[in-house]
Structure 1
């Protein structure tokens, strides 16, 4: 194994792998995009985040090369006051899949993080595939959310929302028109997510999952999250029972004028969830033009009625049936 770009020496990977590892740079962008065709069903976030990732001091982006060519990428980010290694962005060139490259790359990244941050205890990642018995031999399940993926033209949904008016919701929800969601400022986010016992009951297993990234409610993590373009929303600032985070839309490589909108919802009240969903959609479709892939993550029992609301009330197309987002972790040894 060859280690380059100032990576410290680590236990050797068996030489028969034929892999070299380097720290990613700005110059590697085109090579990375070349191995990323159709990754994540066209919802790849890396094109818009790659440059920012390279600047994050708690993150390292590692490339695997074979005969000098980039064949795989993985990013590791240290969070939770230095106790957790968050694994993201994994991709392997199509011709190299199924050959164990991802396993070797993950092992290398784990060794690298352990050498730089000895206090790291666990490796955490988020998956959307079906977990089997072998997975549970390696990982502990932290929490899971239902994934609801829809698509629409922003202009069409904007017109539909205007036609429906402000009082649209779930029939018979019993909510007063004045019970509108509250969009939080930074100080409110700190207060609610770090100090509120009620919020701890709302978060799934005490975890803030923001656009596939799982965080414990800790001061250091809030500093990371509050640097991002996110709308934070709750139903009540005194005693919240529903919360949501909407990541600002960004372009995705499906085609021209395609955007991705990510909404993470926490809580079990369908009517409150619908209210917050509508607020997020109104806020962002007001400025967007073009096609939108919108992914909503929510408590699994809410998936079916929320999907029905999208189809029947908002007249929006459902892209796929029920799948799950699973946050898992394993001990870093």
Structure 2
């Protein structure tokens, strides 16, 4: 097995020679080759260029590359969370010509071996998927929670004008939860939490028991249990934390600060940004208020096009789509898909 690293790296377990693969720990020098291998990932809306350097510096994370004949053909990132109990798997990508050949499975097994050798107390593997889960998946995984994915695209300048025209009243979309259709409601500003408030509130299981789905904080595809060690990770990130009420919250949301992406087939001009909003709760009026508040905060400083991805309680997806189309006049990029958090026991 060939390992090429200029800095001290974890000892990697041996790989079965019949796989024809070599595994290395990713370095800064691998960036361009990884990006070349990932050109069609997520339709060109790849988050990894903005995260890669930070990932390499995280002490509880290892990024592993699979090579074939010396060339990078796959990547997987593993991060240990939940006080050392959980291996969070993310960032999987396989070169187009190698897909369907079992590379992902071999890489995942290798990463599990590596994590168990370094963190033997790890008990669970957790990951987040956006594809349709089938019977075979549920033989391997337990479903922890799921959210609907609403992906829209807009010009920041156009949306700023539209938000200004809306003023302080909006017409609520219909809701499967019984919100009156077509009701006009004043926009009561949500509460933007400071870091200390966010830390205290999200660790208070009594306050958040009816808000967080299955006691899980999902931030930008990363699922965490509400534990002090996980909050220490989350509070280092550029996130806006919102609730509707400090004392009795019914809806909470986390908005990742916008970051640039290549744009892929959706690019019009040079500036394309990505905005991720995770919303927890079932009151569509409060969800809408926080959605609009995040849009107002972040489009104010943006120019160009924005891909906004919102994760929300699945029955709210359709009414929110109608609001986005009819009231905000933004473009729906794709039809309904789900974000599923699943986990399995580490063998």
- Normalising by structure 1, report the TM-score: 0.96
Q: Name the structure 2 match of 1:111.
A: 113
* Alpha-carbon distance in 1 for matches of 2:82, 2:168: 39
Q: Name the structure 2 match of 1:274.
A: 288
| 1:10-89 map, 5 Å | 10=13, 12-89=14-91
The answer to whether residue 211 in structure 2 is matched with residue 211 in structure 1 is no
Runs of 4+ in 1 over 6 A off after TM superposition: 173-176
The DSSP-based 3-state class of the residue aligned with 1:112 is: helix
The DSSP-based 3-state class of the residue aligned with 2:169 is: coil
Any idea what the Cα deviations from partners look like across 1:43-83, whole Å, max 9, x if unmatched?
21100010111111110000011111111100000001111
Q: 1:57 to 1:9 in 2, by over 3 A?
A: closer
Q: Name the structure 2 match of 1:92.
A: 94
Q: Name the structure 2 match of 1:245.
A: 254
Q: Name the structure 1 match of 2:177.
A: none
The answer to whether residue 343 in structure 2 is matched with residue 329 in structure 1 is yes
| 1:224-235 map, 5 Å | 224-235=233-244
* Alpha-carbon distance in 2 for matches of 1:328, 1:196: 21
* Alpha-carbon distance in 2 for matches of 1:260, 1:37: 17
Shift of 1:262: 0.3
The DSSP-based 3-state class of the residue aligned with 1:81 is: helix
Any idea what the Cα deviations from partners look like across 1:150-194, whole Å, max 9, x if unmatched?
000001100100111122241658787473200000111112110
Shift of 1:9: 5.0
Shift of 1:201: 1.5
Gaps spanning 5+ residues in structure 2: where?
Answer: 174-179
Q: Do 1:2 and 1:21's aligned partners in 2 also have CA atoms closer than 8 Å?
A: yes
The DSSP-based 3-state class of the residue aligned with 2:152 is: strand
Shift of 1:42: 2.1
Structural RMSD (CA): 1.5
Q: 1:129 to 1:176 in 2, by over 3 A?
A: closer
* Alpha-carbon distance in 2 for matches of 1:198, 1:175: 29
Gaps spanning 5+ residues in structure 1: where?
Answer: none
Q: Name the structure 2 match of 1:257.
A: 271
Q: Do 2:170 and 2:186's aligned partners in 1 also have CA atoms closer than 8 Å?
A: no
Q: Do 2:124 and 2:346's aligned partners in 1 also have CA atoms closer than 8 Å?
A: yes
Match of 1:8 among 11, 16, 21: 11
Q: Do 1:250 and 1:261's aligned partners in 2 also have CA atoms closer than 8 Å?
A: yes
The DSSP-based 3-state class of the residue aligned with 2:308 is: strand
Shift of 1:38: 1.7
* Alpha-carbon distance in 1 for matches of 2:157, 2:240: 21
Q: Name the structure 2 match of 1:188.
A: 197
- Normalising by structure 2, report the TM-score: 0.92
* Alpha-carbon distance in 2 for matches of 1:278, 1:9: 47
Bigger drift between 195-204 and 67-76 goes to 195-204
Q: Do 2:171 and 2:185's aligned partners in 1 also have CA atoms closer than 8 Å?
A: no
The answer to whether residue 191 in structure 2 is matched with residue 179 in structure 1 is no
* Alpha-carbon distance in 2 for matches of 1:299, 1:24: 36
Q: Do 1:169 and 1:275's aligned partners in 2 also have CA atoms closer than 8 Å?
A: no
The DSSP-based 3-state class of the residue aligned with 2:66 is: strand
* Alpha-carbon distance in 1 for matches of 2:12, 2:332: 49
* Alpha-carbon distance in 1 for matches of 2:190, 2:160: 19
